[in-house]
Amino acid sequence: MISVAEALDQLFALTLTLPVEEVPLIKANGRVLARAVSATRNQPPFSASAMDGYAVVAATPGDSFTVIGEAAAGSRHAGPVGAGEAVRIFTGAPVPEGATRIVIQEDVTRDGDRITVTDALDRGPHIRPEGDDFRIGQTMSAPIRLTPAIVALLASMNIAKAPVFRQPEVAILSTGDELVMPGETPGPDQIIASNTFGLHALLSDLGARPRLLPLARDNEASLRTAFELAQGADLVITIGGASVGDHDLVGKVAGDLGMDRAFYKVAMRPGKPLMAGRLNGAMMIGLPGNPVSAMVCGHVFVAPVIRAMLGLPRAAAPRAQMALAEPLPANGPREHYMRARRTPEGIIADQRQDSALLSVLGQSDALLIRAPNDPAQDIGALVDYIPI
Ligand SMILES: Nc1nc2c(c(=O)[nH]1)N[C@H]1C(S)=C(S)[C@@H](COP(=O)(O)OP(=O)(O)OC[C@H]3O[C@@H](n4cnc5c(N)ncnc54)[C@H](O)[C@@H]3O)O[C@H]1N2
Ligand code: MOO
């Protein structure tokens, strides 16, 4: 059995980065920018007023000015402003030549075209210099996951289309005679496919395009048909049928179909019967069927692979550290990803760690990581975890 780190390395070796496509900004949020883009303009493109008021050369309380014109956002005042003169100005308008500050309208009294500065005059100057936000040539470097803030910045840079990596198409193939879809009436020995939907949600969140295949039964013909339906996917994820039982046929059928297997079995808990390889040009990851095992492997392996496919750095799931709020017993020989909750007092691993318990996973916001053979730990010990 290989370690989690070795498995991740092998998965990255199987991972292909996807081609670049241009998408309109309206569709760019969450996508990964594929190459650096540069501003082709300064923002603001002129010195701009930050307030509604009057543009003047200088002002002290008691000064009076003649209002000689108006500057609004979108239409400047033509010509300069001189001593004793003021230009009525609004937020976002170009500051007229010669003005060095804006007196906000709350700080003046107005009578016809005369204004007088009151004693309440603030420090100003309420002018945003040209290029204060960004200048021509300033770049947004890649790769980076586009956020609403970055989308707004690209729009401001006048970049209408963003070059992004294509989203991976991921086929999800669940297998088991016992499975039915949510909403169906299960037979007495049947259960509802659950991690299938959890993986779909996780993949959507990661920026992939997941596609659910029909549930495959525990026979070779059904599995073959399902694998055929996966054609065209960049990544095929199977769920279940990965272990050593008589009905665990995923490895055999994938092998018959030409899978080039990179590894099978990882020294982790849960998730031991993980497998991966290449199948007809696609990457394949076989997840164990136990609902929590599949979800944990989703966070530990599938998420880093999807990020890598999207062109982001090849890195393990980000970890953080927290002190234990309750002691932990010694760990066994496999790296353990314990379902845990973060509290103000510290992190607490659930008492129940069976890999079938989705109710426990649902109450967890962290996978607390125990190294193989980690000794018992006391309250206060710092532990690594993956936020989920
Ligand atoms: N003799 C051994 N038995 C088992 C071993 C072992 O090493 N030796 N490993 C155990 C471990 S660890 C795991 S994990 C499971 C994984 O088995 P499979 O990947 O073959 O999964 P299945 O047997 O198909 O299912 C396990 C369990 O999960 C339920 N399941 C499956 N798919 C779904 C789904 N899409 N949604 C909800 N639930 C699902 C299935 O009904 C079973 O209850 O093997 C152990 N056995
Ligand atoms: O590895 Mo299994 O995934 O422990 O339940």
**pLDDT tens per residue, range 275-302:** 999 999 999 999 999 999 999 999 999 9
The ligand placed nearest to the CA atom of residue 186 is 1
Is any atom of ligand 2 closer than 6 Å to the C-beta of 331? no
242 or 319: which leads in pLDDT: 319
pTM for the structure as a whole: 0.91
Q: What are the residues whose beta carbons fall under 8 Å from the beta carbon of 241, sequence distance 6 or more?
A: 175, 176, 218, 223, 247, 248, 249, 250, 286, 289
Q: How far does the centroid of ligand 2 lie from the alpha carbon of residue 180, in Å?
A: 22
pLDDT of residue 245 exceeding 90: no
pLDDT of residue 247 exceeding 90: no
Q: What is the pLDDT of residue 183?
A: 97
Mutate to test the pocket of ligand 2, among 243, 269, 297 (most ligand atoms within 8 A of CB): 269
Q: What is the pLDDT of residue 243?
A: 84
Enter the tokens of residue 293.
């095992």
Q: How far does the centroid of ligand 1 lie from the alpha carbon of residue 241, in Å?
A: 7
Q: What is the pLDDT of residue 292?
A: 98
Ligand 1, atom 46: closest residue by C-alpha: 243
Is any atom of ligand 2 closer than 6 Å to the C-beta of 270? yes
Ligand 2, atom 2: closest residue by C-alpha: 270
Q: How far does the centroid of ligand 1 lie from the alpha carbon of residue 370, in Å?
A: 22
Contact 385, 319 (CB under 8 A): yes
Q: How far does the centroid of ligand 2 lie from the alpha carbon of residue 253, in Å?
A: 22
Ligand 2, atom 4: closest residue by C-alpha: 270
**pLDDT tens per residue, range 161-203:** 999 999 999 999 999 999 999 999 999 999 999 999 999 999 9
Is any atom of ligand 2 closer than 6 Å to the C-beta of 271? yes
Percent of the residues in the chain that have a pLDDT greater than 70, as a whole number: 100
The ligand placed nearest to the CA atom of residue 244 is 1
Closest atom of ligand 2 to 355 CA is 5
**pLDDT tens per residue, range 106-160:** 999 999 999 999 999 999 899 999 999 999 999 999 999 999 999 999 999 999 9
Domains and CATH numbers, the chain: 4-17+167-309 (3.40.980.10), 22-42+141-165 (3.90.105.10), 48-128 (2.170.190.11), 320-387 (2.40.340.10)
Q: How far does the centroid of ligand 1 lie from the alpha carbon of residue 322, in Å?
A: 31
**pLDDT tens per residue, range 59-107:** 999 999 999 999 999 999 999 999 999 999 999 999 999 999 999 999 9
pLDDT of residue 246 exceeding 90: no
Q: What is the pLDDT of residue 179?
A: 97
Give the ipTM: 0.97
Q: What are the residues whose beta carbons fall under 8 Å from the beta carbon of 162, sequence distance 6 or more?
A: 22, 23, 25, 28, 31, 33, 37, 146, 154
CA separation for the pair 291, 195 (Å, rounded): 5
pLDDT of residue 248 exceeding 90: no
Mean per-residue pLDDT of the chain: 96
The ligand placed nearest to the CA atom of residue 270 is 2
The ligand placed nearest to the CA atom of residue 243 is 1
Q: What is the pLDDT of residue 70?
A: 97
Q: How far does the centroid of ligand 2 lie from the alpha carbon of residue 343, in Å?
A: 26
- SS3 percent helix, strand, coil of the chain, rounded to 5, is 20, 35, 45
Q: What is the pLDDT of residue 244?
A: 78
Q: How far does the centroid of ligand 1 lie from the alpha carbon of residue 273, in Å?
A: 9
Q: How far is CA 10 from the centre of its chain?
A: 23
Contact 28, 162 (CB under 8 A): yes
